[in-house]
Structure 1
């Protein structure tokens, strides 16, 4: 069975995470996964959990408007949130279909002080990470999670699990009363 999936980004990390997540739950599908550049309609660096989720929802909706003939539309938005411990980083994944949607958030991790100092000056996490770790365009590679784990966990794998979890209601459509 062929399924067309539109990822609301041209970032290869988000496209690959989506493809791998779908392949894990739906190995029988022939997947056509395509990225499309659409706005999140939130800040370039979402600074709260709510803003980050809103960005992922907006991306999925904007992808559907841009390419309405797909089976799934996927919005992935990375964000940070200030806590008593400092800034934590995470991402929201939203997967939409005509029958319903699924949402999941990645795990969180604490950002180091050197990175948070740059964020406080208005620098986006990806650029702050590049400066602190002397990397280039890390958000299209391992990201901050990759830099901080010495490459043990890259951004693709980090997002892939959340893609699988966002698919839970769709994979279990009868339990969630969705007509897939």
Structure 2
């Protein structure tokens, strides 16, 4: 297990949020989203959690399943947290070409869940062709745009918007949207 249990964690400490990934972008945007949404600080940690889907999920169902699996598998490893977050990026295609998106899935310690999806954006033909041939999107971006580990930085969205929207900003809004039922419990539960 890559997450160290805090033996001295007390209920009076900050609420603990586990992200089902060690990707620093996913951890940082989750912390920012929770802090903004609840106007409070949280302890946010990343944990290696299996998505149970291919390295590059294709389609809505597979991508959402990956996000759900990351959240539930994080809870299996560390059930003492207050929230578990799964973030999974995927691709799909329509008549215009291949597009990217991500699903956010949040589970709280009462068993309540919520989910939200990011906006979508189309991928360049060269990148899409590599992904169709089995390459993960981040690796395809690195190859085509001569980057190194771009998915732990601005990601595809950062590269393609020339930094106007980075991966952290892209995920943050969807995380906040997924928190709506937790922020408005009387309306949803």
TM-score interval, normalised by the smaller of the two chains: over 0.9
What is the aligned counterpart of 1:113 among 125, 140, 144? Answer: 125
Structure 1, unaligned runs of 5 or more: none
Match of 1:92 in 2: 103
**Secondary structure class of the residue paired with 1:175:** helix
Segments of 4+ in structure 1 off by > 4 A?
A: none
> In structure 1, how many angstroms separate the alpha carbons of the residues matched to 2:31 and 2:44?
6
> In structure 2, how many angstroms separate the alpha carbons of the residues matched to 1:25 and 1:37?
25
Match of 1:19 in 2: 31
**Secondary structure class of the residue paired with 2:187:** coil
After superposition, residues 80-159 of structure 1 pair within 5 angstroms as 80-99=91-110, 100-159=112-171
> In structure 2, how many angstroms separate the alpha carbons of the residues matched to 1:162 and 1:144?
17
Structure 2 residue 60 is matched with structure 1 residue 49 = yes
What is the aligned counterpart of 2:85 among 67, 71, 74? Answer: 74
Deviates more, 1:56-65 or 1:82-91: 82-91
How many pairs does the alignment contain? 176
**Secondary structure class of the residue paired with 1:107:** coil
Q: What is the CA deviation profile of residues 19-63 of structure 1, one whole-angstrom value per residue up to 9, with x for unaligned ones?
A: 010011112x33110000011000100011110000000000000
**Secondary structure class of the residue paired with 2:106:** strand
Structure 2 residue 69 is matched with structure 1 residue 58 = yes
What is the aligned counterpart of 2:176 among 164, 167, 180? Answer: 164
**Secondary structure class of the residue paired with 1:91:** strand
Q: CA deviation at 1:121?
A: 1.5
Q: TM-score, normalised by structure 2?
A: 0.91
**Secondary structure class of the residue paired with 2:33:** helix
Q: CA deviation at 1:101?
A: 1.1
